[in-house]
Chain A
């Protein structure tokens, strides 16, 4: 393994009676790493624990060889972009970065250099004098990634960064993350499978604090091989299909619909097998965990 990685061993964490993480084991290497799971699966707890914002109760975490208990050491090597990033609205983009640079112990010269580089990288150089409160959602998230990268950390922790962004901003933000991940470890937490599929090689799926899957995106898809089908059905047949199978996509075409559904245990009476996508595989994974529920909410 490369030096810039994270090892998690037997990690458990609870809030009162609510078990947020259950005996979690995970290795995160350099590059983009996707953390998938429903809302409430334990992703944010895991991210916050790695970022020293929460204290672990059981198990061990090391970041680049440094135990997470050494919070001041960890803070030097991590960059953190929280869910719903915000900064003092009265500050300009440059002032906000400069302020956070001071908190990171950076010299004036280094702050100046890094802020210039990062503003160019995140395409905010023309907005450097703009107040934070007047930034759009996408611009604010780009400022968020710039502040997380400010002190050139080895590990970048990004929690649900694309929520609330329009499609164009989402794609731009994903590309930006891939760019910065070239020589860093980037942990991307999300419940949007498309974000992970487009950016991450290695992923983990969490559900109810447990690790459901850890491996590559292609590995996840391989697991779903032979379990995903597509069929063209009439509107009258649709309720029966819904009742019998987990549907991952529906495309209405007038009186008929093309449905994509999961049938992991047996070949269905209708439809033909198709190559699984990451979304199919992710839903199958959750479905197998016995937590099917309204799976459409998870996608």
Chain B
């Protein structure tokens, strides 16, 4: 406990921590969650309540097919493999395969004109220029290619006779041709297409659930956790790296020859780092709770909601990025952990294997998302996955800390020399 207090004092006094803490608070401020920019109000009839995924094949299929046709027409497809935006242009062989998919999706067989379209991108007015032709949407939702020389327009009319199973199979083939990560993948198709408006009754039901289950602050805390997760998935690595790097310059041997066990030393350091990065978060939680008491009244809110979310949702994220910093810096004596965490953060925030969702959690995702104020039912739906995810991330953290103890122990006995950027200086010990 004494060592924990001393390590905490060292972290809190360090410039890098102060910068990280300022970054955390500034991020919360710029994202409109500290102080909160909006309050939860009862929906009024006749207003707009946003959209939701219908999951209805009758809506999904024509929208998805038309989207594929538009991209096919210019041979430029937007995909997000591993979370990163990528424009795909198909080669001749793959275009031929895509021709067959489009042909099967369309009522009429494709004309040669459509198949040989150029790679010209979309124009600003929303129509597409293809070899001087224009792609326009008709009133019935079908698409038409208009040629300037007055030739017959080429229409795309979705073949409604196609079954959902066959359609899904064709979309999967299209996604494979595009290298994955497209809107047509099984994971994302039902999210991207077939959106329908949220009704007043649904909005009212969500509001009532927010009031009864979340007691207002729960919903606010979730949105706060959503943004804090993004920043806590990255910034804690910096104090961890700098604290461990401060052991260089001949200080390490002073620590190695002390009586303390490696486990106690690493654990005290880890807990101190996590406490430090959570401190600004907890202070903001306290302030936000005070703000909500003023907004909704003490009796209408869950006064501990922010703190529950801080420990359940945000803490595992902060622990994971701290553990990455601790482990890789102890192992290599270099700041390589920052690059590792940055990579994890990018892949995590940009979606991993598909287009990113702002609501929910994937397996081993360090930063769960809930970018909405309310949507309590959606939260309750993915809550089991979230619990599993938080346990998994905590277990990864425990493993990383255990590995750090092992590495520290081996280094203090001279059993491990890892050199990343320069050759080992073992010889200099002679």
Contacts and interface: CB of A to CB of B under 8 A. Distances in A.
Contacts of B255: 103
A45 B430 contact: yes
B430 to A, nearest CB: 5
B3 A103 contact: yes
A105 B259 contact: yes
A210 to B, nearest CB: 13
B427 interface: yes
Contact of B13 (A48, A55, A90): A90
Nearest to B428: A44
Contact of B3 (A20, A88, A102): A102
B379 to A, nearest CB: 44
A105 B260 contact: yes
Given A55-B415, A100-B254, A88 B10 contact: yes
Contacts of B3: 102-103
A265 to B, nearest CB: 31
Contacts of A76: 259
A100 B427 contact: no
A98 B258 CA distance: 13
Interface stretch (A78-86, A183-191, A220-228, A273-281): A78-86
A178 interface: no
A102 B250 contact: no
A53 B260 contact: no
A6 to B, nearest CB: 15
Contacts of B259: 72, 75-76, 103-105, 151
A108 B2 contact: yes
Given A45-B429, A54-B429, A102-B3, A71 B250 contact: no
A18 B430 CA distance: 9
B254 A147 contact: yes
A59 B314 CA distance: 52
A4 to B, nearest CB: 18
A295 B430 CA distance: 19
Indicate the member of B249, B414, B427 with the most A CB atoms within 10 Å: B414
Contacts of B250: 82-86
A100 B14 CA distance: 19
A82 B254 contact: yes
Contact of B257 (A18, A45, A51, A86): A51
A87 B251 contact: yes
B6 A53 contact: no
B256 interface: yes
B421 to A, nearest CB: 20
Contact of B414 (A53, A102, A105): A53
B412 interface: yes
Contacts of A20: 429-430
Nearest to A150: B258
Nearest to A208: B430
Interface string B1-20: 01100100010011000000
Contacts of A71: 412-413
B426 interface: yes
A102 B413 contact: no
A15 B430 contact: yes
Contacts of A15: 426-427, 429-430
Contacts of B2: 102, 108
A218 interface: no
B142 interface: no
Highest count of chain A CB atoms <10 Å: which of B2, B249, B260, B261? B2
Contacts of B260: 102-105
Contacts of A72: 259, 261
Interface string A29-54: 00000000000111011001001111
A245 interface: no
Contacts of B251: 86-88
Contacts of A45: 429-430
Contact of A53 (B246, B256, B261, B427): B256
B415 A80 contact: no
B406 to A, nearest CB: 15
A100 B258 contact: yes
A85 B257 CA distance: 13
A48 B412 CA distance: 10
Nearest to B251: A86
A204 to B, nearest CB: 16
A83 B430 CA distance: 12
A55 B414 CA distance: 6
A75 B430 contact: no
Contacts of B254: 80, 82, 85-87, 100, 147
A82 B429 CA distance: 11
B428 to A, nearest CB: 8
23 contacts: A45-B429, A45-B430, A48-B253, A52-B256, A52-B257, A52-B412, A52-B413, A72-B259, A75-B258, A79-B257, A80-B253, A80-B257, A82-B250, A85-B250, A85-B254, A86-B251, A87-B251, A87-B254, A88-B251, A90-B13, A103-B255, A103-B265, A104-B258
Interface of A: 15, 18, 20, 40-42, 44-45, 48, 51-55, 71-72, 75-76, 78-80, 82-88, 90, 98-100, 102-105, 108, 147, 151
Return the 9 tightest CB-CB contacts between A and B, nearest first: A103-B258, A54-B414, A80-B257, A86-B250, A82-B253, A103-B260, A105-B259, A20-B430, A75-B259
Given A45-B429, A48-B429, A84-B250, 15 more contacts: A15-B430, A20-B429, A41-B430, A44-B429, A53-B412, A53-B414, A54-B414, A85-B250, A85-B254, A87-B254, A88-B10, A99-B6, A103-B255, A103-B259, A103-B260
Interface of B: 2-3, 6, 10, 13-14, 246, 249-251, 253-261, 265, 412-415, 426-427, 429-430
